[in-house]
Structure 1
């Protein structure tokens, strides 16, 4: 084996040792390195010191919530985040994805399923980093840089989460076309069955708010009641 090859490292932020041990074992079997901390504060400190391939983040932590930790991570990094939670409420799943999470797994869960989701997220990320999502393109007042995973409006860079970027990219590439929520789910999410119509609506709402910050009074994304959304520019 090439001695220069380094295995991707996953940070686990989980206060239950038995769960963390199972995750570390499962990741190790699939070729991942992992590090484990028990609090949100420790997790943020680790992220400030080292670049990780992905973060597995428990929602219920002893010092804060995983949602709050995610917000702080997103202020400095776009590292993929998979939430772990004992709650299976749809509103929690929507909130987790809306603030920048990449996936959401409810306890009790299969470690094999969690590891499979980690692999899918990282594979998609590698394709995007290699520019297989497309290089720089211009769509009216928008510019899209597939290699850097960035979209600008009127030459101002938009601060987008991973799924917001993918959704806006889908809209930009299909101007005027009405896309149903189901179509958006299958074109944006790796696990569309794990999302839902309310998740799509939440992301559209967030994207609209960010577009309005740059172009107040302009509604680029149109709602078609009972059908879905379209992009006008």
Structure 2
């Protein structure tokens, strides 16, 4: 089955060009010209979304926030903006990547391919019993972890966070995204709790492996599990 891509942009020429180019690579392509239409087209369960920021009705950031509880596929923002604050806004809204207009079609296709391969690896990892990162072994079924053969004592929330980041290895998540995933959308509390739990996880992992940093901080954005 061909992988599905949703393109959201209010410029017909860009949509037409991208649609033709991606269909040549055997992707199944859906299109939307505004925020409301984009939200409607999510029902087709795309494997990846190309989302322009400056679109009518609702901008790309608003669309991303609204659909993030419906889809977990990669979202790549397309925009003429390229400032750090715009990149942080896009990633903070739930996006996975950012490419500025005008962009190279070759580069965009490479980004699309990389994200889809990462999603496939994540899917495969979710169906594994154990994840291995150097000397660290995460037993998903037994909900235990070992480093150099020694058991690492983790609380339930600490293991939940480590499992979530490790399964999505290399992908950056904001504290808010992690909080919503682990604690739930309706939980009462503060995403600052994520930082405290990450600190404790790092401390415990460092006791068993002083030479490796498993969770890295992406300043101004969030955290990711290092490959």
TM-score range, shorter chain: 0.5 to 0.7
> What residue number does 1:8 align with?
3
How far 1:127 sits from its partner (Å)?
0.6
Contact preservation (8 Å) 1:13, 1:38:
yes
**Which of 29, 47, 57 is matched with 1:34 structurally?**
29
**Which of 168, 175, 180 is matched with 2:204 structurally?**
175
The CA distance in 1 between the partners of 2:220 and 2:39, in whole Å, is 30
Q: CA RMSD in A?
A: 3.5
TM (norm. structure 1) is 0.63
Contact preservation (8 Å) 1:55, 1:82:
yes
How far 1:77 sits from its partner (Å)?
2.1
- Once the two structures are superposed, the pairs formed by residues 38-187 of structure 1 within 5 Å of their partners are 38-47=33-42, 49-131=43-125, 134=131, 136=140, 137-138=143-144, 139-142=154-157, 143-144=159-160, 145=163, 157=183, 172=201, 175=204, 177=206
The CA distance in 1 between the partners of 2:13 and 2:58, in whole Å, is 20
**Which of 189, 195, 202 is matched with 2:221 structurally?**
202
**Which of 15, 19, 40 is matched with 1:20 structurally?**
15
Cα gap change, 1:170/1:74 in structure 2, threshold over 3 Å: closer, same or farther? farther
2:221 alignment partner, SS class: helix
The CA distance in 1 between the partners of 2:34 and 2:121, in whole Å, is 32
Contact preservation (8 Å) 2:5, 2:49:
yes
Contact preservation (8 Å) 1:26, 1:115:
no
Unaligned runs of 5+ in 2: 132-138, 145-153, 169-176, 186-193, 208-212
Contact preservation (8 Å) 2:87, 2:98:
yes
How far 1:108 sits from its partner (Å)?
0.3
Contact preservation (8 Å) 1:11, 1:55:
yes
Cα gap change, 1:115/1:140 in structure 2, threshold over 3 Å: closer, same or farther? same
Contact preservation (8 Å) 2:9, 2:32:
yes
TM (norm. structure 2) is 0.64
Q: Number of aligned pairs?
A: 174
The CA distance in 2 between the partners of 1:203 and 1:30, in whole Å, is 33
How far 1:29 sits from its partner (Å)?
2.5
How far 1:111 sits from its partner (Å)?
1.4
Unaligned runs of 5+ in 1: 1-5, 160-164, 189-196, 208-233
Cα deviations by residue, 1:163-219 (Å, 9 ceiling, x for unpaired): xx9xx99984773649xxxx78xx87xxxxxxxx8x533315xx9xxxxxxxxxxxx
